[in-house]
């Protein structure tokens, strides 16, 4: 056990240490008990700092924009490792990642109740599924935006030989998806509230960060303990700035026509998906659907949305502005950007400033028994055994891609 720990420490120590909190930067890897103890102290301090982080959020837009190495959250940690966290329960799974509810091992006084969501990605699976680029984008975008009131905060990231880790704040309310499916549909004030918080997220991502999110859907939106939204899963998020990008990604029902046709896409895809999302909030299902995915895509490029007769004219006007096939006419992408969306009459009751500062009461405040309550999350199958190993050849070929993690 002890040797394993030393091995891990050595491995981390070699990997490009640049943390300024470490005084002896150029010294050789820890060799004696004294260095070991210093290392442990660093780790304990870092764990304590992370546990106390919540008190200080949310950051103002100016604070978020600070270089990620200076910011108190979102940094790449050279001292944390999986053993610092006790895995409590799976919160979600993907094709190459699993998210766990975790608490700190050996917590300091006052940190005992602090929980996080830890996203674990196995390098083998990331490589096999050709997601290396997406995973790097995800970490970098999350680091850049950490501290935004409605985006999941990546407190830190780290890695070991086999896996990549993203330590995220835990959002105990669960997915908007679950509430929406249970309710079948949201009423108009509820839809407006959630839609408005999403508009603030997209405005920030597009206009402050130049980032296209590319996977908007109710499954990726969580409700926090106070009833506000948190956007999660930045696996497809990409800093595009003013260049278009071409890789097809997203969720079938939410793909924009220009993604399907491969003519190049940018932030405008999020406004399309936002229109689909508002429609799904109000109607209970997205506008384009078929059992056969190719038929969905055919409908999307056709772009004819049918509205239930009971939908309010304002809502209809907003959705048809967003779900416009021609990007040069799409609301959100045309002159005014997100501001034009915010000015739409469907949002006339929203106080945008109060909303950003979380002063508006959310329509659903989850009922919770303590900070580690997982009742709002579904049960997931345990992790399958006997996965492929991340062997020396793979390490040789791929580890350079992960150095910043």
The alpha carbon dihedral of 140, 145, 146, 149 has a sign of: negative
Binding segment for other proteins among 24-32, 58-66, 286-294, 387-395 (CB under 8 A)? 286-294
> Which span sits near other proteins by CB under 8 A: 71-79, 119-127, 158-166, 280-288?
280-288
99 φ, ψ to 5°? -110, 130
Tokens linked to 51: 């546990």
Give the x-and-dash track for 145-174 against other proteins (CB under 8 A): ------------------------------
Q: Which two tokens stand for residue 52?
A: 């106390």
Question: Quick check: 234 binds other proteins (CB under 8 A)?
Answer: no
Is 314 labeled as catalytic in the residue annotation?
A: no
Torsion of CA 289, 294, 298, 299, to 10 degrees: 0
Q: Which of 56, 110, 336, 351 binds other proteins (CB under 8 A)?
A: 336
Q: How far is the CB of 5 from other proteins (least distance, A)?
A: 35
Rounded-to-integer distance, Cα 389 and Cα 392, Å? 9
- Using CA atoms in the order 362, 368, 371, 373, what is the torsion angle rounded to 10 degrees? -120
By the rule CB under 8 A, 184 interacts with other proteins: yes
- Interface with other proteins in residues 206-225 (CB under 8 A): 215, 217, 219, 225
Distance between CA 324 and CA 28 in Å, rounded? 59
The catalytic residue among 169, 215, 233, 373 is 215
DSSP secondary structure letter of residue 153: -
Sole binder of other proteins in the list 187, 354, 380, 389 (CB under 8 A): 187
If binding is defined by CB under 8 A, does position 387 make contact with other proteins? no
Q: What is the distance of C-alpha 269 from the center of its chain?
A: 17
User: Which residue from 16, 27, 31, 361 is in contact with other proteins, where contact means CB under 8 A?
Assistant: 361
Binder to other proteins among 253, 269, 318, 344 (CB under 8 A)? 253
Does position 285 bind other proteins by CB under 8 A?
yes
61 is a contact residue toward other proteins (CB under 8 A): no
Does 188 participate in binding other proteins (rule CB under 8 A)?
Answer: yes
Q: How far is the CB of 397 from other proteins (least distance, A)?
A: 17
The reply to whether 312 sits near other proteins by the rule CB under 8 A is: yes
Q: Which of 130, 379, 392, 396 binds other proteins (CB under 8 A)?
A: 130
316 is an interface residue for other proteins by CB under 8 A: no
CA 181 to chain centroid = 21
Residue 11 CA neighbour count, 13 Å, CB half: 15
The pair of three-digit structure tokens given for residue 291, joined into one six-digit string: 């059992």
Cα 253 from Cα 285, distance rounded (Å): 10
For residue 105, give the nearest of 48, 167, 153 by alpha carbon: 48
Contact in structure between 211 and 238 (CB atoms under 8 Å):
yes
Calpha distance 195→186 (Å, rounded)? 11
Q: Is 248 in the site for other proteins (CB under 8 A)?
A: yes
The answer to whether 119 is annotated as binding is yes
Interaction residues for other proteins, span 63-82 (CB under 8 A): none
Selected from 6, 11, 36, 177, the binder of other proteins by CB under 8 A is 177
Residue count, binding to other proteins (CB under 8 A): 85
Binding site for ATP: residue ranges? 119
- Would you name the residues annotated as active-site residues? 215
């Amino acid at each position: 056990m002890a040797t394993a720990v030393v091995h891990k420490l050595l491995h981390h120590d070699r990997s490009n240490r640049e943390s300024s909190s470490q005084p002896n930067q150029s010294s050789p890897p820890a060799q004696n008990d004294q260095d070991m103890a210093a290392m442990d102290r660093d780790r304990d301090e870092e764990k304590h700092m992370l546990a106390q982080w919540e008190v200080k959020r949310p950051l103002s837009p100016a604070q978020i924009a600070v270089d990620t190495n200076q910011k108190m959250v979102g940094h790449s940690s050279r001292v944390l490792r999986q053993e610092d966290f006790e895995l409590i329960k799976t919160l979600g799974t993907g094709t190459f990642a699993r998210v766990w509810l975790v608490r700190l091992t050996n917590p300091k006084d006052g940190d005992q109740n602090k929980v996080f969501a830890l996203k674990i990605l196995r390098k083998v699976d990331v490589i096999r599924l050709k997601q290396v680029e997406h995973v790097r984008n995800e970490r970098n975008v999350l680091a850049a935006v950490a501290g935004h009131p409605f985006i999941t905060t990546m407190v830190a990231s780290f890695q070991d030989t086999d896996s990549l880790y993203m330590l995220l704040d835990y959002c105990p309310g669960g997915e908007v998806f679950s509430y929406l499916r249970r309710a079948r549909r949201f009423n108009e004030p509820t839809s407006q509230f959630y839609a408005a918080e999403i508009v603030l997220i997209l405005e920030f991502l597009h206009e402050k960060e130049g980032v296209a999110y590319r996977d908007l859907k109710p499954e990726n939106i969580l409700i926090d303990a106070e009833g506000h939204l948190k956007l999660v899963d930045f696996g497809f998020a990409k800093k595009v700035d003013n260049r278009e990008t071409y890789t097809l990604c997203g969720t079938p029902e939410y793909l924009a026509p220009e993604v399907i046709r491969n003519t190049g896409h940018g932030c405008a895809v999020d406004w399309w998906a936002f229109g689909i999302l508002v429609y799904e909030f109000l109607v209970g299902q997205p506008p384009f659907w078929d059992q056969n995915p190719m038929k969905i895509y055919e409908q999307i490029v056709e772009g004819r949305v049918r509205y239930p007769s009971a939908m309010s004219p304002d809502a209809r006007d907003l959705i048809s502005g967003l779900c416009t096939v021609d990007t040069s006419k799409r609301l959100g992408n045309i002159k005014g950007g997100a501001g034009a969306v915010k000015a739409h009459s469907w949002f006339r009751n929203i106080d945008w400033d109060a909303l950003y500062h979380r002063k508006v009461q959310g329509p659903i405040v989850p009922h919770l028994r303590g900070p580690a309550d997982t009742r709002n999350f579904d049960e997931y199958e345990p992790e399958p055994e006997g996965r492929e190993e991340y062997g020396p050849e793979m390490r040789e070929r791929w580890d350079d891609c992960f150095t910043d993690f």
